[in-house]
Amino acid sequence: MSVAVSGQTSSIKEYIHDVTQRAADARAEIAAASTEVKNQALTNIADEILASREELKRKNMLDLQAGKERGLASAMIDRLKLTDARIEAMAEGLVQVSKLPDPVGEMSEMNIRPTGIKVGKMRVPIGVILIIYESRPNVTADAAALCIKSGNVTILRGGSEAIHSNQAIANCIHNGLQKVGIAKDVVQVIATADRQAVTELLHADEIINIVIPRGGKGLVEKITQESHIPLIKHLDGVCHVYIHEDAGVDMATEIAVNAKAQRFGVCNAMETLLIDEKIANQILPELEKRFKEKQVELRGCAKTQKILTNIKSASEGDWYEEYLGPVLAIKIVDDFADAIQHIEKYGSHHTDAIVTNNELIAQRFLREVDSSSVMVNASTRFADGFEYGLGAEIGISTDKLHARGPVGLEGLTTQKFIVLGDGNIRE
Amino acid sequence: MSVAVSGQTSSIKEYIHDVTQRAADARAEIAAASTEVKNQALTNIADEILASREELKRKNMLDLQAGKERGLASAMIDRLKLTDARIEAMAEGLVQVSKLPDPVGEMSEMNIRPTGIKVGKMRVPIGVILIIYESRPNVTADAAALCIKSGNVTILRGGSEAIHSNQAIANCIHNGLQKVGIAKDVVQVIATADRQAVTELLHADEIINIVIPRGGKGLVEKITQESHIPLIKHLDGVCHVYIHEDAGVDMATEIAVNAKAQRFGVCNAMETLLIDEKIANQILPELEKRFKEKQVELRGCAKTQKILTNIKSASEGDWYEEYLGPVLAIKIVDDFADAIQHIEKYGSHHTDAIVTNNELIAQRFLREVDSSSVMVNASTRFADGFEYGLGAEIGISTDKLHARGPVGLEGLTTQKFIVLGDGNIRE
């Protein structure tokens, strides 16, 4: 593979042209690979990663040093770091993916039509997937694993700050693939930090079928604007818990505290709590006490402030906010309709939950809230590929089309129609 | 509704802003409408259309006259014309859609996770769908029917040449909706022929969830370039039939003739016939005779021309061609791999069929050919929503994501995750 020289647009163009051509050429091979071969490749890669532990840490050190010299924030440096535990977790992740059922080739919905043809669907790989991500080198192994298992070719473009680590992981992936006779071009890790490479990739719409950006909102919006290739993307997680008037107070309290405080800084944490006016007096004082223990700052609407007189007021901006930290906005709503309207207006269609013992209200909430995950009497923190039983996830989609919510192996495939006849012709 | 004055950009902008706001406001209502109400609306619209027969023909006459004055081609004038039979077919189409099962609210894949939560999926409408189409006014009724039944709001932008006919059909739709108490904004038909309206719509990505272009390749490519809203689109139908060496000669002949000549000018007609070298001598003379009867012009590769010495030679361009007419390109291939490579290189991933008695080869063909419909021993002409049992189709998608192949009610919906708990929190 040619290595591009940063800053030279023409050579970057050639380099990316070469990468995408190799990807196109590798597509048929991995799409047709058997489950056994793909699983063997995954466990091979896991073995390579464990065997290359020292090499991975040495290359990672280059990134860490460069990062410190460039003054990267300590949180970023932490994400970048490959420890023994993280290296083992990468290998373990690969082994886990090897154990998941293979979605490719699965046939469903077969039925016989009046003309005698049998019509159904077959699940097949999407083709060539571009994944653009930041800092964490483990994404290189995780994303490669999911794409190999789902029969796709991947082009991986990690953050420039992790380039040495990512190239070292790429070597492990290539060795693992080649040991079962699969072309290493099935997984290509971009070998330049030049931003021009991303631009070139985003315009390769003849070859790349889908782009998955994994990173902050800025990255996602930039890619959306720059490319006409379909995206599986994740934007905000402004998640709500709505405590309905028919909620049990204890259950509502436990779910609200868990949804906000089990872990901060995750997209499925609650950011705004909606409480029905009829139950607010009864529940708010206990909630205040519990959130105080968790050191969560509360910001309330005017009605909330009448009950919890010591808390700050929530501004209009708070209802849109994804705090990703120990802050919670609280609003007292008039009724079910008011709650639904708030979620529709301010929410981000990620994950929203209701706490209620009223079955009809629960059914209406499930149907009417237009979010990727809608929950009844459960914490929003369950919105996660592992918790849902997908085995692993490439991300959580806040898009409506193709894949919505946690995206696992199935989201990396598509279905085509298949027709079986015995000489049928159309009259 | 305000009516925009053509040529005044600011008023078009305001008009489209108004249209999209109304669409957004109508979304929750149609999404939550019961199956009974939606079905009643559809049969009401059918009744309105039948009762407005004379009015529809009068308005259609305005379009026909304007079209003739503008010198529209006679094929276009024919597509534009509303006859009694076509009006009745529109009404019948609406009644048929009312009889289809409602996909909205359908729950599937429910299972209990080790944490005790129940996780599954619920089928829900996409939201707001923009459909851009040309000439045929019946699309206005057909598209509205499918969108109403699937719980979506639609904005319909028909061809400028059909504007009077489309507005008259829109009146019937609005009357039918309002009689069951559904806001007429659920289906809006753009009331200006100004092209600026399309541009404004294609930039309303905050409100419009999906665009479905129904028209020629030029229209589709233009929209793809102009918008960042996801598309369900149809490009070419360069469909193949591959006669494998283990094919029965009679079956192969019947399928090839049907795939090409049952109807010309349709996207699922065969454009290139691939014949295995080992069977070519045996089958080509009979095929030539049969295609001659159907007045199909044959163009062959060099090897084909050695057997059928009177036919023209196919150029490189022929293999890419969607003739949509009585022309067929024929190529003799070395073997299965050669056929697959030809389809991958020159095909449009629409519909491809193999004729073979070899079960293993059939399975490989099904799996390896990357097209929206892949067939064994059946004519490509079966690639159609009605033939597949979808009941009706909004089009055939040559995209890979979300909806692939004929798109019916299911393709106009999406699935969200639903989680049912009894107070579950994440540890």
For A92-106, the pLDDT digits (tens) are 999 999 999 999 999
Cβ–Cβ below 8 Å for A377 and B422: yes
> Which residues 342-361 of A have a C-beta within 8 angstroms of B?
344, 353
Write down the pLDDT at residue B39: 98
Residues 22-81 of A with CB under 8 A from B: 28, 31-32
- Whether residue A6 is predicted with pLDDT greater than 80 in this model: the reply is no
* Nearest residue, CB atoms, B419 vs list A113, A262, A373: A373
A1 exposure class (CB count in 10 Å sphere: 0-12, 13-18, 19+): exposed
CB contacts, 8 Å: B127 with chain A: 370, 400
Q: Say yes or no for a CB contact (<8 Å) between B382 and A124.
A: no
Residues recorded for chain B: 427
Give me the residue from A124, A340, A426 closest to B379, CB to CB: A426
Of A259, A382, A415, the CB nearest to B404: A415
pLDDT higher than threshold 60 for residue A369: yes
pLDDT at A10: 75
Q: Kindly list the residues from chain B whose CB atom is less than 8 angstroms away from the CB atom of residue A119.
A: 387-389
Which residue type is seen at A400?
K
Residues 6+ apart with CB under 8 A from A102: A35, A38, A149, A409
Q: What is the pLDDT of residue A221?
A: 86
Give pLDDT, residue A8: 60
Rg of chain B on CA atoms, in Å: 24
Q: Which residues of B touch A117 (CB under 8 A)?
A: 378, 382, 387
Q: Would you call A126 and B401 a contact, using CB atoms and an 8 Å cutoff? A: yes
* B387 touching chain A per CB within 8 A: yes
- Assess B418–A contact: CB distance below 8 Å, yes or no: yes
Q: Does A26 have pLDDT greater than 90? A: yes
What angle, rounded to 10 degrees, do the helices at B53-69 and B163-178 form? 160
The CA distances from residue A195 to A71, A185, A346, B326, in Å, are: 20, 21, 34, 50
Nearest-CA distance A118 → chain B (Å) = 9
Position with higher pLDDT, A382 vs B6:
A382
User: CA A282 to CA A412: how far, in whole Å?
Assistant: 46
**Nearest neighbour of B416 by CB, restricted to A371, A376, A421:** A371
Residues 6+ apart with CB under 8 A from A363: none
Chain B touched by A202 (CB under 8 Å): no
- pLDDT reported for residue A215: 81
| Contact status of A108 with chain B (Cβ, < 8 Å) | no
Separation of alpha carbons B94 and B141, rounded Å? 7
A210-213 CB contacts, 8 Å cutoff, 24+ apart: A210/A126, A210/A127, A210/A128, A210/A129, A210/A130, A210/B400, A210/B401, A211/A129, A211/A130, A211/A131, A211/A132, A212/A129, A212/A130, A212/A131, A212/A132, A212/A143, A212/A394, A212/A395, A212/A407, A213/A131, A213/A132, A213/A133
B191 vs chain A: nearest CA distance in angstroms? Answer: 29
Residue A1 pLDDT > 50:
no
Round to whole Å and give the CA distance between A94 and A246.
45
Rounded CA gap, A341 and A274, in Å? Answer: 11
- pLDDT score recorded for residue B9: 65
Within 10 angstroms of residue A47's Cβ, the number of other Cβ atoms is 17
pLDDT at A225 over 90: no
Q: Do A401 and B381 touch (CB under 8 A)?
A: no
Q: Is B401 on the interface with A (CB under 8 A)?
A: yes
The residue assigned the tokens 């529940």 is A283
Would the CB atoms of A382 and B32 count as touching at under 8 Å? Answer: no
- In DSSP notation, B101-115 reads PP-TT-EEEEEE-TT
Chain B environment of A377 (Cβ under 8 Å) = 420-424
User: Do A319 and A331 contact (CB within 8 A), yes or no?
Assistant: yes
Nearest-angstrom CA–CA distance, A408 and B417: 13
**Residue A324 contacts B where some CB pair is shorter than 8 Å:** no
- The pLDDT value given to residue B140: 96
* Mean pLDDT score of chain A: 94
- Considering only alpha carbons, which residue of chain B is nearest residue A424? B378
What are the tens digits of pLDDT across the range A103-162?
A: 999 999 999 999 999 999 999 999 999 999 987 899 999 999 999 999 999 999 999 999
Nearest Cβ partner for A228 among B127, B224, B353: B224
Interface contacts A/B by beta carbons within 8 Å = 223
Q: What's the confidence (pLDDT) of residue B2?
A: 41
Low-confidence ranges of chain B (pLDDT < 50): 1-6
- Provide the percentage of residues in chain A whose pLDDT is more than 90: 86
pLDDT above 70 as % of chain A: 98
pLDDT at B8: 61
Q: Is B188 on the interface with A (CB under 8 A)?
A: no
pLDDT at position B5 is: 44
Global pTM reads: 0.90
Q: Does A389 touch chain B (CB under 8 A)?
A: yes
Q: Which residue has the tokens 């909330």?
A: A304
Element (H or E) spanning B132, and its range? strand B128-133
Task: Say what the pLDDT of residue B339 is.
Answer: 98
Token pair in block for residue A204: 């390769």
Please tell me which of the candidates A126, A370, A378 has its beta carbon nearest to residue B400.
A126
Residue A5 has pLDDT above 50, yes or no: no
What span, in angstroms and rounded, lies between the C-alpha atoms of A372 and B19? Answer: 26
